[in-house]
Amino acid sequence: MPEPIEVRKIPLHSVSDASELATLIDDGVLDADRVVAVIGKTEGNGGVNDYTRIIADRAFREVLVAKGSRSAEDVKQVPIVWSGGTDGIISPHATVFATLPAEEAVQTDEPRLSVGFAMSEQIRPEEIGRTPMIEKVAAGVRTAMERAGITDPADVHYVQTKTPLLTIDTIRDAKSRGEQVWTENTHESMDLSNATTALGVAVALGEVEAPTDEQVMHDLSLFSSVASCSSGVELDRAQIVVVGNVRGVGGRYRIGHDVMRDALDQDGIWAAIRDAGLELPERPHHSDLQGRLVNVFLKCEADPSGSVRDRRNAMLDDSDVHWHRQIKACVGGVTAAVTGDPAVFVSVAAVHQGPSGGGPVAAIVDMGETIQV
């Protein structure tokens, strides 16, 4: 049986700030050696050259080394997934997951939060966008499920990944070996890596049959309702965090999920919160959450039709501000209006992640005492 989980959301006061993580450890809320995953938002541009992710990653790992007994090499294995870009009112923050000794957790037979993680085999640049990457991600998801103690894919509510994208150097590497990459547009490769990874998650969870290379980025009827995929220059394999519910593990927290059908679909966010276990009135308000919502995690995408609810928008034609930033700011505002808190995890490039033009939503709630988040 996996150990119960403690999870807290903390602000980032600057791009290199990990002081709130240090405070949680100093106050005895978390044990540095028991931190198993971090998922956060940094304030960079969200692009290929968003080095705020690397800066934040270093700051958090330095705290885990300084405050615990694990070596720097061991701490490098902890999955820390940063999504760059806090456009609009989205506030930089991190959600920290740590195990608890069983005797310190609330005892219950009800489903409670469990987390598993894995690293895939190395993903070569020529595999991004193609079947070998899908297969490697799927294998990693299955390993992470096993580590979380999850046997039924229906109990998986959120899969956060970080995968490599293409850079000039990795494109050159593929060519030197006589291989061809899917695209030489490094920014486009971000969407491509996310989409391919999402299909790997969907295959592992039985949401879709194994797709062909030709379906990647093209058959938008194929998607995972729980995948949240990010990519960057920080790694050369898939970093996978599987979050779900397990009976008997104990603890205070529970996770649920649903999907947004489009960029304005507040009902999809509320549905995810309800799925996590909170009872809400028919027409809820953020005050009904009573501090029990730890965080929500969303992916979003500009609708390829160029419209939302039959109203035309110009995001996909805008040459001044990339649509990545526009849709992220939009959905971030919609989400914060639901939660009453701008510190929400909203990430872009959601092809094969939720319905086209929408995206998946996961919500973690505290089923025990009310806490400040």
Q: What is the torsional sign of CA 10, 13, 14, 19?
A: negative
Query: By the 8 A CB rule, do 228 and 259 touch?
Result: no
Rounded to the nearest 10°, the torsion over CA 32, 37, 40, 45 is 110
Identify the active-site residue in 230, 231, 347, 356.
230
Rounded Cα gap, residues 271 and 362, in angstroms:
10
Active site annotation includes 162: yes
Q: Which residue has the tokens 């949240």?
A: 228
Rounded Cα gap, residues 178 and 189, in angstroms:
19
Alpha helices (runs of H) in 222-343, residue ranges in sequence order: 266-276, 323-339
- Assign 71 to helix, strand or coil: coil
Q: Which residue has the tokens 């394999």?
A: 237
| H/E run at residue 90 | none
Query: By the 8 A CB rule, do 190 and 234 touch?
Result: no
Query: By the 8 A CB rule, do 349 and 301 touch?
Result: yes
How far is C-alpha 315 from the chain's CA centre? 24
Rounded Cα gap, residues 126 and 134, in angstroms:
12
Active site annotation includes 230: yes
- Assign 262 to helix, strand or coil: coil
What are the residues facing 117 on neighbouring strands? 241
Rounded Cα gap, residues 303 and 261, in angstroms:
10
What are the residues facing 39 on neighbouring strands? 81, 95
Side-chain-facing half-sphere of 132: CA atoms under 13 Å? 11
Identify the active-site residue in 9, 41, 67, 162.
162
* Residues identified as active-site: 162, 230
